[in-house]
Structure 1
Amino acid sequence: MPTFANTWNTSGLNTWLLKKALSLPAPVLRGLSGGGVVYSQGRTLDPQIQFLWRSLFTPPSGRTGLSLTNRSLESARQAWQDAASLFGLPDNLRVRYEQIGADAAGPTFGGVAPISGLLIRPARISEDAPLLVFFHQGGGVLGGHGLSKAFCALLAQEARCPIFLPDYRLAPASRFPAALDDARIAFEWAQSNAFRLGAKSGRVAVGGALMGANLALRLSLDLRRDFKPMPAGQLLITPLVDLSDTQIKTGASLGMWPLTTGDLDTMISHYAGAGTNLDDPRISPALEPLINGQPKTFVVSAGLDPLAAQGEVLVKRLSAARTQNSLSKIRHPAAGFRPVRRRGR
């Protein structure tokens, strides 16, 4: 009898049907994914994520459909985009999307291409709300702003603030520090165009998920070092801010990632390049000796999150440096993912 994974891999099961399946009650989803609650370190895996990982993305090889093993980067990137598209949005969402970067006269990423990305404007924007420049996840190798589009659309509406999702160059075609260079150019461009991008206050905050959070933190540290205008605040979602941390691979071996340890080795190798010291604070900003003068920081860790310790250590260091900060622990989702919001709610 074919499994959901086989159906997905061989016939491209309709996305609409997948979204409908994800709206089923939690016990049904757990039953379809093999039954039982995935529980570790006092936290449980969200049943919708469990359904995707165990039923849709687990072929007989044991690798998930999001693995980089034995496939091209183009194929892997498309798989991640397809997975991101499964996470539906509520019917009452009221935001407008605008593609940024059509003006060839605008600033460029290292002289290669115009500033590009996606601007999300909610129907209601608070007078004092900043523009949030949010860097997407993907390990510096996968995806584009589409990986964070659904999350940021929800955030824009809830926070009543515009959000700019800039694109940045990806490895291995453009290794570190290309993504960081692009992130800074995008942020400084956004600062110069905050009003045009919808921020009535003229203020600009920075944020990111996973590797995007790495870029956001490193950017804030660099701006402080260079005596440049600082972000109004920073939002770090399941931050991957220490690439030398061995717990990253431990999480993969325990099934806490949709990636294998080999996948993580490949991604880090692609991003860092040969000879790069992962203990270097430039690529692992949590290891920066001095983190004084940082903007107000909000750190979010997830349920089965192998990066939770990184976020907690960072918050302690920020507190010691007298930076106003907050740590929020979401019990159920896995690192880098969010549960699907029920339609119409």
Structure 2
Amino acid sequence: MPTFANTWNTSGLNTWLLKKALSLPAPVLRGLSGGGVVYSQGRTLDPQIQFLWRSLFTPPSGRTGLSLTNRSLESARQAWQDATSLFGVPDNLRVRYEQIGADAAGSTFGGVAPIGGLLIRPARISEDAPLLVFFHQGGGVLGGHDLSKAFCALLAQEARCPIFLPDYRLAPANRFPAALDDARTAFEWAQSNAFRLGAKSGRVAVGGALMGANLALRLSLDLRRDFKPTSAGQLLITPLVDLSDTQIKAGASLGMWPLTTGDLDTMISHYAGAGTNLDDPCISPALEPLINGQPKTFVISAGLDPLAAQGELLVKRLSAARTQTLYRRYDTLPLGFDLFAAVVDEVRAATLDIAENWVNLLRSGTTEANAEQAVV
């Protein structure tokens, strides 16, 4: 049977060819990936992601090409970087990428910044759009801003807002709270430079994926505690906001690919380090006793996502604290789905939906907080 298996990291298969392969009908994609439908707890995995997982990224050993389990962290980082390079960015985007340097050399921004990263400016920016400071995918241990570049580029264009992806320090070389310290430095610098970074409104919002969402929520709580100007809103993608949660393993059947519950364990152990109290709200912000006074919040989960219960509980707590809150769950997608924004149709559709709802949330009235929950 024709297959792309075992060639993803060595062949000359390029992004164009991959996208052509993924345009095949769903039954063909499932046939190429071994046949059958992948589902758990009544939810069916998107066939394009099933093809990527079972055909392209599964070598003869049976260990998926993006797994962190039973491999060195260096090889896992390289695998994620190779995958990101293969997937590329969505087609036909009208955005500009600008490197932000922690020193003047190599920065197209024209000045020194305390934290390096990537600025994404869409061709059209709404007058009322805030700058979104987004902490990238990777669980606090993998990669850099490239892991979230495709998702954020599409989001920036559709939401008509500039997005700054800071490069924060990664564990285990720099364990918690190094990433949180960098997140605050990046956010405060962005607040001081919002107009120069493309936000005509002068406002700044915050967001992130997985551990990046953890940083965003913790930052918002800390700003409130310190009586500092808070963000215009927070966008939390598949948030990992309670590292002590023993129920994550109970959703092991939902943790498929690219991230399993075993991978989450590995990320948490690298990020926190031995002896760290995972019940501490500093590292598990969902355990903060008082969660009031938060900015408008949009929480996104996936259907095949062992962290979805955390997201749903957070929405309930924020709603009870009268924070204007919106929740979406995309049932055919797995944890880590934002990595595939450039190549998977359902991820692109989810990103467009996220952009529309994010803009609507930011523009909506604040006379009475509410939580609108929806499953897509």
Q: Is TM more than 0.5 here?
A: yes
Q: Quick one: structure 1 residues 295 and 254, their matched pair in 2 at CA, closer, same or farther if it must change by over 3 Å?
A: closer
Per-residue CA shift, 1:279-322, capped at 9, x if unaligned? 11111111111100000001111121111111110000001000
The answer (yes or no) to whether the contact 1:301–1:327 under 8 Å persists in 2 is no
- The whole-number CA distance in structure 1 between the counterparts of 2:316 and 2:372 is 32
The answer (yes or no) to whether the contact 1:110–1:181 under 8 Å persists in 2 is no
- The whole-number CA distance in structure 2 between the counterparts of 1:297 and 1:177 is 23
Per-residue CA shift, 1:259-281, capped at 9, x if unaligned? 45543332211100110111111
Per-residue CA shift, 1:315-343, capped at 9, x if unaligned? 000010000099999999999999x9999
Q: Quick one: structure 1 residues 122 and 256, their matched pair in 2 at CA, closer, same or farther if it must change by over 3 Å?
A: same
Q: Quick one: structure 1 residues 331 and 258, their matched pair in 2 at CA, closer, same or farther if it must change by over 3 Å?
A: farther
Q: Secondary structure at the match of 1:7?
A: coil
The answer (yes or no) to whether the contact 1:251–1:306 under 8 Å persists in 2 is yes
Q: Quick one: structure 1 residues 108 and 126, their matched pair in 2 at CA, closer, same or farther if it must change by over 3 Å?
A: closer
- The whole-number CA distance in structure 1 between the counterparts of 2:241 and 2:67 is 22
> Which residue of the partner structure matches residue 81 of structure 1?
81
- The whole-number CA distance in structure 2 between the counterparts of 1:302 and 1:330 is 22
Shift of 1:16: 3.4
TM-score scaled by length of structure 1: 0.87
- The whole-number CA distance in structure 1 between the counterparts of 2:306 and 2:24 is 27
The answer (yes or no) to whether the contact 1:207–1:236 under 8 Å persists in 2 is yes
Shift of 1:107: 13
The answer (yes or no) to whether the contact 2:29–2:51 under 8 Å persists in 1 is yes
- The whole-number CA distance in structure 2 between the counterparts of 1:213 and 1:246 is 19
Q: Quick one: structure 1 residues 113 and 75, their matched pair in 2 at CA, closer, same or farther if it must change by over 3 Å?
A: farther
Shift of 1:252: 4.3
Where in structure 2 are there 5+ consecutive unaligned residues? 325-356
- The whole-number CA distance in structure 2 between the counterparts of 1:103 and 1:182 is 15
Per-residue CA shift, 1:235-272, capped at 9, x if unaligned? 00111111122343344455524345543332211100
> Which residue of the partner structure matches residue 310 of structure 1?
310
Per-residue CA shift, 1:106-152, capped at 9, x if unaligned? 99999999410000000000000000000001110001100100000
Q: Quick one: structure 1 residues 320 and 108, their matched pair in 2 at CA, closer, same or farther if it must change by over 3 Å?
A: farther
Q: Secondary structure at the match of 1:165?
A: strand
Q: Quick one: structure 1 residues 80 and 332, their matched pair in 2 at CA, closer, same or farther if it must change by over 3 Å?
A: farther
Q: Secondary structure at the match of 2:170?
A: coil
| RMSD between aligned residues | 6.5
Shift of 1:45: 1.2
Farther off after superposition, 19-28 or 101-110: 101-110
The answer (yes or no) to whether the contact 2:84–2:147 under 8 Å persists in 1 is yes
Shift of 1:3: 4.8
Q: Does 1:329 align with 2:354?
A: no
The answer (yes or no) to whether the contact 2:102–2:116 under 8 Å persists in 1 is yes
Q: Quick one: structure 1 residues 110 and 266, their matched pair in 2 at CA, closer, same or farther if it must change by over 3 Å?
A: farther
Q: Secondary structure at the match of 2:359?
A: strand
The answer (yes or no) to whether the contact 2:94–2:123 under 8 Å persists in 1 is yes
The answer (yes or no) to whether the contact 1:305–1:334 under 8 Å persists in 2 is no
Per-residue CA shift, 1:49-84, capped at 9, x if unaligned? 111111122223332101224443232112112223
Farther off after superposition, 196-205 or 245-254: 245-254
Q: Quick one: structure 1 residues 275 and 33, their matched pair in 2 at CA, closer, same or farther if it must change by over 3 Å?
A: same
Q: Secondary structure at the match of 2:244?
A: coil
Q: Quick one: structure 1 residues 87 and 61, their matched pair in 2 at CA, closer, same or farther if it must change by over 3 Å?
A: same
Where in structure 1 are there 5+ consecutive unaligned residues? none
Q: Quick one: structure 1 residues 54 and 222, their matched pair in 2 at CA, closer, same or farther if it must change by over 3 Å?
A: same
Q: Quick one: structure 1 residues 29 and 42, their matched pair in 2 at CA, closer, same or farther if it must change by over 3 Å?
A: same
- The whole-number CA distance in structure 2 between the counterparts of 1:52 and 1:318 is 36
> Which residue of the partner structure matches residue 3 of structure 1?
3
Q: Secondary structure at the match of 1:71?
A: coil
> Which residue of the partner structure matches residue 183 of structure 1?
183
Q: Quick one: structure 1 residues 246 and 52, their matched pair in 2 at CA, closer, same or farther if it must change by over 3 Å?
A: farther
Q: Quick one: structure 1 residues 60 and 255, their matched pair in 2 at CA, closer, same or farther if it must change by over 3 Å?
A: farther
The answer (yes or no) to whether the contact 1:92–1:344 under 8 Å persists in 2 is no
- The whole-number CA distance in structure 2 between the counterparts of 1:250 and 1:332 is 37
Q: Secondary structure at the match of 2:248?
A: helix
Q: Does 1:157 align with 2:157?
A: yes
